[in-house]
Amino acid sequence: MENKKRYERPVVLKQFSGFMNKFGSRPTTATRTEVDGVPVNELVEKYGSPLFVISERKIRETKEEQTGFLKRATPRCSLPGHTKPIT
C-alpha cells in the first residue's frame, strides 16, 4: 500500500500594512494622496468610502504602449475596436 501524505490544514493569516509579510518584506503599496491631480480626500467626500478609482490617463498611456508594442511585434495584427490592421 502506498504511503499517503498526511493532510495538513491550510492556514490563512491576515496581512497587516507596514509589517513584514510571509515573504520577508514590507508591502509595496504606497498611500496615495491624489489621483491625476485630484486629492483623494475630495473624492471620498464626494463619493464616500470605500472608493475604487480608475485613471483614464493611465489607461490611455497603457493602451498606447501596448498598441506600439503590437505594431512592432505583429504589423498585420488588428486590435478589438479597430476595423482595419494597424499600420
Q: Given the C-alpha cell 507596514, which residue does it identify?
A: 18
Give the model's pLDDT for residue 64: 85
Predicted model pTM? 0.44
Flag whether 56 is in a domain: yes
Give the model's pLDDT for residue 66: 82
Which domain does 60 fall in, by range?
A: 34-73
SS (H, E, C) 24-78: CCCCCCCCCCEECCEEHHHHHHHHCCCCCCCCHHHHHHHHHHHHHHHHHHCCCCC
Compute the distance between CA of residue 73 and CA of residue 76 in angstroms, rounded to an integer. 9
* Tens of each residue's pLDDT in the chain, 87 residues: 578 888 888 887 765 666 665 666 665 666 788 888 899 999 999 999 888 888 888 888 888 888 877 777 776 666 566 555 555
Flag whether 40 is in a domain: yes
Flag whether 42 is in a domain: yes
